[in-house]
Structure 1
Amino acid sequence: MRAAQFRSWVLLTLSALQTASAQTKYEVQTPPLDTDWTYEVGTDPWPEHPRPQLRRDAWQSLNGVWTWSAAKSNDDLNNPPGAGPLDHEVLVPSCIESGLSGLQVLDVNHMWYETNFEVPKSWDSQKVLLHFEAVDYRSTVIINGAKKDTHRGGYSRITLDVTEDVRLNGTNRMLVFVHDPTDTEVIPVGKQTVRPSHIFYRPCSGIWQQVWLEAVPADHIERLDVASNADGEVTVNIVSSSGDGADVQVTVVDQNGNEVATHSGSADKQFTFNVDGVSPWWPDSPTLYNLTVTLGDDEVASYTGFRTISKSEVEGVTRHLLNGEFVFQFGTLDQGYWPDGLHTPPNLEAMVYDLKVLKDFGFNMVRKHIKVEPDLFYEACDRLGLMVIQDMPSTRPDAQPNAEEHAEFRRQLEIMVNEHKSYPSIVSWTIYNEGWGQLDDGQPEEELTKVVRELDPTRLINSVSGWDDHGFGDYHDNHNYAHPQCGTPFYSRPKTPYDPERIGIAGEYGGIGHNVSIEHLWNVKEAIDTIPETYEINEDLESYNYRAMVLFRDLREQTERFACSGAVYTQTTDVEGEVNGLLTYDRRVMRPDLKQWQDDIQSLYEAAASRGGRPVSKGRKY
């Protein structure tokens, strides 16, 4: 389908969706580009338990085919739809702008969702919790006519106690009203825009992560924070529903199924204990330990990895340390976009595929770029051995937040840290990217660095990735694509001078592009027209791999001569009009010469080892 035809089809589809009187049945809509997983999703998507670090046996997925209709404004919330299904079937979870949703509509920012569900009768003595892993952006849930609180934030969880609202002896009707302002408000939005251009992409609106029910005792664990150091010290914070400091017990089981520690403590108050003889978590040996935590009648399963993140001087250079050793961090800018699902990967296999590709190259890190993924993403990084630099989704780069908007950014930043700080693979938090939503005087940057440090003292903080750096946080981070500058006494932007007191990294570099045939491109004319804006275009893969070799040489020499401690290559895959991925957007073409890149990546680790870094052996995929 040509781009112009596709655009006309989308507009006609939108008109039909807004005026149709008969219900439209669900089927995958043909996206501008598909993947090998597009037509394998089916109507029972994402059956996996969504919370790998807080699992109970009594749970029920609500994913699948719901019904949907467009709304006109926020006033529609006061006039919910009457009985019966809505106009169109939709797949949950998905972005309504995606082919997988069954809608693929653009420019709808108010909408209704509807589904019916039953609650197991065996839950009659339990509390019933309703979870939404993420809804973009503002959502209100109505259960059997009872309106619940409105939630703000497109990347954070929603948990509602619906015990008094549901029936155990019949069908329950749920309505969800969603408003996604995208470009019309200054909110954490990442790279979403209703008018895509080059590095800004099609938005994701609606219920884009899993929905599920859970049965819990009246007094139960609401939050479980675990931080485990390489020396065996475990710090636990358990937030209970009652808040009365009830007794809790934590049991640690090693990878062979042996119980290695048991400790009793109190909920709602942080406590620590030690486990002897632990195997630390490393990228080349990502050892994890299972946990069982009990509070009264409540029992949850979780896991942890023993590792310590710190910074110190190594041979006169400020370095980030993993388990007390300097490990060169090398990974990709990973945006987590999919041509068929946009923010929502087609399935777990597809999401993990990208990570396995990176691991096969020899990357030991991934920068999750201004998007927050499903928890299963971080579990996969924990198990594969990929360190994660986690970005806070930014506000629009062309807007300066006012005091209220800054406060909301801070609130959502705190939520992101609290929801993910138990995943051992996450090694640092990034607050701002390239000045987007950042004030010029640096005061919010200083404030937010202190906020994150207090919430999570176990990790490092990259206050500013790219530029407009006022000296806060643990990193000096330079972005320069075709000529990497990493911990060097030379730099290209006047606001990012070399700072030997902080860790030198290249937070983004590379970006070398290579165009491909139309069957591997996002077939939207506006995106194709921006391909020449890619940082560098190579005519063929021979020149592409030559240029990569040159960039590796530059980075390696800066590691050997100066203070380069890590780098982020841009990027894992193409996205819409960007053609600078290791993989094309459909994941069907790999550009790099795998053996050449493996050798060059290994040479970076060896260069770091020559400057006091952790010794490496040939072939180690860390």
Structure 2
Amino acid sequence: MLWLCTWFILLLTSQSLARGLGDTSSLASRRTAPYAVQQPPLTTDWTEQVGTNPWPEYPRPQRQRSEWKNLNGIWQYQAAASLDAVKSPPFGQNLTAEVLIPSCLESGLSGIQATSAVYSWFRTTFTIPNAWRAQNVLLNFGAVDYEATVFVNGQQAGFHRGGYFAFTVDITSFINATTNNELLVYVHDPTDRGNYVIPIGKQRLVPSHIFYTPCSGIWQSVWIESAPANYITQLDLSGDMYGQVNVTVHSASEHSTAVQIAILEDDSVIACADGTSNQPFQFHVPDPNLWSPESPDLYNVTVTLGEDMVSSYLGFRTISRGEVNGIQRPLLNGEFTFLFGTLDQGYWPDGLYSPPTREAMEYDLRVLKDLGFNMVRKHIKVEPALYYRACDELGLLVIQDMPSLRLVENIQESQQQEFVRQLDLMVNQLKNYPSILGWIIYNEGWGQITSYYPEFALTERVRQLDPTRLVDSTSGWHDHGAGDFHDNHHYANPQCGTPFYSTPSTPYDPSRIAIQGEFGGVGHNLSIEHLWNNQAAINTINQTYEMDADLDAWNARGHMLLTELQDQVRQYACSGAVWTQTTDVEGEVNGLMSYDRRVKRVDVQQWRDDIQGLFEAAAERVG
């Protein structure tokens, strides 16, 4: 039925154009309110550094083209009244206000700081470099939340649904090569409005404690690039600990085309191979340096299909599970690696879902690496591609959550199927990053159907899409035995692979890997200049699992809990754990850092010693 809806919209649009838009001169010349950063409830040290040309970096590091043009910056924005607005695009008209792209409309950095952004129009113009005139032109979006209808020069060029995923529109047939081009994007983002049940993670129209301000609109980078008519649409690329490289080069044409791939080290080609597009092939690289948190070695890659060439990279490593001294363990390059990371939610007070800058985004990861963490659990959010590139470079393993559905009692089959479709999108989009260790399908039963056990079929589906990773089917509870992990959540004390547990957790299952998917969560209040200055959020601070009187007590409590976890690693089957959390978020004050990143709660040396103690305990346990 989607094709029919699209046809209907195109018909109405063409009829509107045929009738003419009437006198639009006043609309075309009307004043658009200029952009200015709005005052959010809290800022960061990067807020004033963003400027009007944000995120200048090439946004897609694993399939990078040399001929590209960044469209980030100042666009125009206008609220729309309803879904029907898409039938009457404001072609050739100035919109009411300037907006910063990329950004969440609800954020201060957007310049809008909307409180309700369900229906929205975005507009910009662009020109095509002369050198691209004989090429196809591709329009790329890093992510738009939630549904995006794309118009170029008065014609619908594309549609995408899913607020966390990149998409590309081939706009070659819609553009003017010699003049300005108008780009209009209509965005519908219901979040948890009405009867909508869609993947939203922790976004809520009415935030409350563990649920936060939503993000609507174009919140990741937008760019155009040139490519030949037959271009690389997707690159599946991985290397294992034995030097085998697995490749599938997907192309815009169904016809088979010769493909060449080269692996480089220090700008020297160390291996190359030939293959065919749209078909998997393999080749071998002798004695590669293996990727690990201790030594995150990466190799540059070039891939050529006809006239199209993209740059990429890979790391050689093998992720698996195996029995070590009678206990199921996660293995990296054949060795048990104890996993210790934080619940990393990726929220920013000035940008919400959008980090203010690349430097800011990487700051969090560098703080974790410096303390000795070797992993992050990316919690029910998908980050910009450069986040995963940073994890690859720093040597931080990633356990990636699927953004959860809204919490309702009964999930409809159509809602479940859309969740599954977007789960596929996530795995296919992220599976090339060496740092990703595993996938989480459901978090704490959110959006999980319990009348039957869909996690078994979904686990197999994920394994078919990506047989190189582990799957944590149900993180927290409603665990029926699916996947590679038995994942316990318990606050504040850990219960990792132990014979003691509490509702709603389940008894440890020795046939799977034991991981403490969440624990800690101890809180410590701050003065107002470091808090999300929203009274509703402040009123929920006392809902934090545990509150400590001062930083000395907070650090002492952290030491107690990590010491307890060390004992469980030594005595039982614990293979990994996730501390809650990297930073405070709105009404939650249990981060290693404050929400504005200006306060580090951690006694650095104490935490380094305690974290190192976990790895030492794991080494003692396996002998």
Q: Given the two structures, how large is their TM-score scaled by the length of structure 2?
A: 0.94
CA distance in 2, matches of 1:440, 1:187: 18
Long gaps (5+) in structure 2: 1-29
Shift of 1:490: 1.4
The aligned counterpart of 1:274 is 284
Deviation at 1:495, TM superposition (A): 5.3
Q: 1:562 aligns with which of 569, 572, 576?
A: 572
Match of 1:403 among 410, 413, 418: 413
Task: Give the aligned partner of residue 78 of structure 1.
Answer: 87
Q: Secondary structure at the match of 2:472?
A: strand
What per-residue deviation string (whole Å, max 9, x for no partner) do you get for residues 281-312 of structure 1? 01011000000111111111000000000000
Partner residue, 1:154: 163
Equivalent of 1:198 in 209, 221, 225 = 209
Task: Tell me what 1:291 maps to.
Answer: 301
Deviates more, 1:362-371 or 1:239-248: 239-248
1:494 offset after TM fit, Å? 5.2
Q: Give the counterpart of 2:139 among 130, 135, 151.
A: 130
Among all aligned residue pairs of Structure 1 and Structure 2, give the percentage whose two residues are the same amino acid: 58
The aligned amino acid for 1:242 is: S
> Distance in 2 between the 1:493 and 1:500 partners?
19
Task: State the match for 1:63 in structure 2.
Answer: 72
Question: Counterpart of 2:393?
Answer: 383
Give 2:240's aligned residue. Answer: 229
> Runs in 1 of length 4+ with deviation above 6 angstroms?
none
The 1:150/1:387 distance shift into structure 2, 3 A limit, reads same
Question: Separation in 1 of the partners of 2:220 and 2:48?
Answer: 19
Structure 2 CA distance for aligned equivalents of residues 564 and 469 of structure 1? 17
User: What secondary structure is seen at the aligned counterpart in 2 of 1:174?
Assistant: strand
User: Partner residue of 1:3?
Assistant: none
- 1:189 corresponds to: 200
- 1:304 equivalent in alignment to 2:330: no
AA aligned to 2:222 is V
C-alpha separation in 2, matches of 1:323 and 1:433 = 28
1:228 partner amino acid: G
Matches within 5 A, 1:423-438: 423-438=433-448
**2:500 aligned with 1:490:** yes
Q: Secondary structure at the match of 1:282?
A: coil
* Matched residue SS, 2:271: strand
State how far apart, in whole Å, the 1-side matches of 2:215 and 2:504 are: 36
Where does 1:102-501 land on structure 2 (aligned, <5 Å)?
A: 102-184=111-193, 185-254=196-265, 256-493=266-503, 496-501=506-511
Instruction: Note the 1:537-552 alignment, pairs <5 A.
Output: 537-552=547-562
Q: What is the distance in 1 between the residues matched to 2:398 and 2:531?
A: 28
CA displacement, residues 94-153 of structure 1 (integer Å, 9 cap, x when unaligned): 000000000001112101001011011110111000011100001101100111232110
Q: Deviations over 1:262-289 (max 9, x none)?
A: 1111111101111001110010110000
State the distance in 2 between where 1:288 and 1:75 align. 49
CA contact (8 A) 1:397 1:436 kept: yes
CA offset digits 1:414-447 (Å, max 9, x no partner): 0000011000000000000000000114421111
Deviation at 1:84, TM superposition (A): 2.9
Please point out which of 604, 607, 621 is paired with 1:594.
604
Number of equivalences: 592
SS of residue paired to 1:352: helix
Instruction: Check conservation: 1:442, 1:470, Cα contact below 8 A.
Output: no
Amino acid at match of 1:377: Y
Question: 8 Å contact 2:319–2:332 — kept in the other structure?
Answer: yes
- 1:6 maps to what in 2? none
- Higher mean alpha-carbon deviation, 438-447 vs 349-358, is at 438-447
Q: How far 1:489 sits from its partner (Å)?
A: 1.5
Q: Which of 461-470 and 395-404 deviates more?
A: 395-404
Tell me how far apart the structure 1 counterparts of residues 452 and 514 of structure 2 sit (CA, whole Å): 20
Partner of 1:512: 522
Distance 1:399 1:119, change over 3 A: farther
Indicate the residue corresponding to 2:589 in structure 1: 579
Which of 35, 56, 59 is matched with 1:47 structurally? Answer: 56
Any conservation in 2 of the 1:400–1:438 contact (CA below 8 Å)?
Answer: no
Quick one: distance in 1 between partners of 2:426 and 2:530?
Answer: 34
Q: Report how far residue 244 of structure 1 moved.
A: 1.6
SS in 2 for 1:286: coil
Aligned mates of 1:298, 1:268 — CA distance in 2:
15
